[in-house]
Structure 1
Amino acid sequence: MSIIHRFSFPDKTKHAVLQFPTNFDLHSSVGDIVEFEALPDKYWKITQKIFKVSQYNTVEYVDYKTDEVENPYP
């Protein structure tokens, strides 16, 4: 089953929500840092992770809220 993962960014960045389906379980948690090819040289810390569960007890989508952080690589 494909789960849609939706990453939202702070309003000040004016980035649209990044949304993509996966056929695997994306293991990311609050506090993790993510880099997207679509947003090069930017790093995002996950601040919230919200699951939408259907009436059939399956996950329809996962929403992630993020904040921009400095490059974690020295």
Structure 2
Amino acid sequence: MRLTRQTNYAMRILMYCAANTERLSRIPEIAAAYSVSELFLFKILQPLVENGLVETVRGRNGGVRLGRPAEQISLFDVVRVT
């Protein structure tokens, strides 16, 4: 099974958020960590948010965090929504 580039980066976003559960992860730092554009990450985040895999917090101190515990998110969930 081949994963799309979008699914690959969606998994990376989720892993980054899972590794940083004590705080919100900001889009610019995720983009810098994986050398990808912020606009591409926003495109990938939209279906993840719509399906409850991640939550976003708007504003100056906003960011992204997992929508449910990492143990409850499967690869199938990510492939299905991306």
Higher helix share: 2
TM-score band, normalised by the shorter chain?
0.3 to 0.5
Q: Which has the higher strand share?
A: 1
* Larger of the two Rg values belongs to structure: 1
